[in-house]
Structure 1
Amino acid sequence: MAKKPIQSDSKEQNVSFENALSELESIVARLESGELSLEDALNEFERGIQLARQGQQKLQQAEQRVEILLNGNSDDAALAPFNPDAE
């Protein structure tokens, strides 16, 4: 099987949660098939970990956005861009 190049960090951040989840499911299927060489399996595992971490981060950001919206007072609530690095 041909090796896939590991994508750069900048491209990873542009992957939607749904696309990351889909790719992660494909990686799991390939790993479970048992047909990959050790090197290919390690590369797939590494990519899977990157996608899982990215997905977890996106879920945390979404949860924080929802919490901000739910805890705001509807009378004087003003929407502001969410900045995850502000903490």
Structure 2
Amino acid sequence: MADQKKNVTEPAERLSYEEARAELASVVERLEAGGTSLEDSLALWERGERLAAICQRWLDGARERIEAARPAAGS
């Protein structure tokens, strides 16, 4: 249970894309499995939302880098 609380409160901004994606997959599995209290389910959902936002920021950043490199590749 201590690990669960640690995962919920860990500063997510420091996670790599791969770490955030893996933890998000774990959160989804736990929510789909059920068997948690309403409070725990809500905490997992909120954590999942934060993790999804982190993944999206990483993907947006990668897209920007690719778009910025395209004109340079054509030169």
Q: Same fold (TM over 0.5)?
A: yes
Task: Name the structure 2 match of 1:33.
Answer: 33
Give percent identity, aligned residues only.
Answer: 38
What CA distance in whole angstroms lies between the structure 2 residues aligned with 1:32 and 1:52?
16
- The Cα RMSD (Å) is 1.7
CA deviation profile, 1:20-62 (whole Å, cap 9, x unmatched): 0000000011001111100000000000000001100110001
What CA distance in whole angstroms lies between the structure 2 residues aligned with 1:58 and 1:37?
31
Task: Name the structure 1 match of 2:9.
Answer: 7
Task: Name the structure 2 match of 1:64.
Answer: 64
Equivalent pairs, count: 72
Q: Which runs of 5+ in 2 are unaligned?
A: none
What CA distance in whole angstroms lies between the structure 1 residues aligned with 2:16 and 2:73?
30
What CA distance in whole angstroms lies between the structure 2 residues aligned with 1:26 and 1:36?
14
What CA distance in whole angstroms lies between the structure 2 residues aligned with 1:20 and 1:73?
31
- How far apart are 1:74 and its partner, in Å? 5.8
What CA distance in whole angstroms lies between the structure 1 residues aligned with 2:57 and 2:73?
27
- How far apart are 1:14 and its partner, in Å? 1.1
If you compute each CA radius of gyration, which structure gives the higher value, 1 or 2? Answer: 1
Q: Which has the higher contact order (CA 8 A, sep 6+)?
A: 2
Normalised to the residue count of structure 2, the TM-score between the two structures is: 0.84
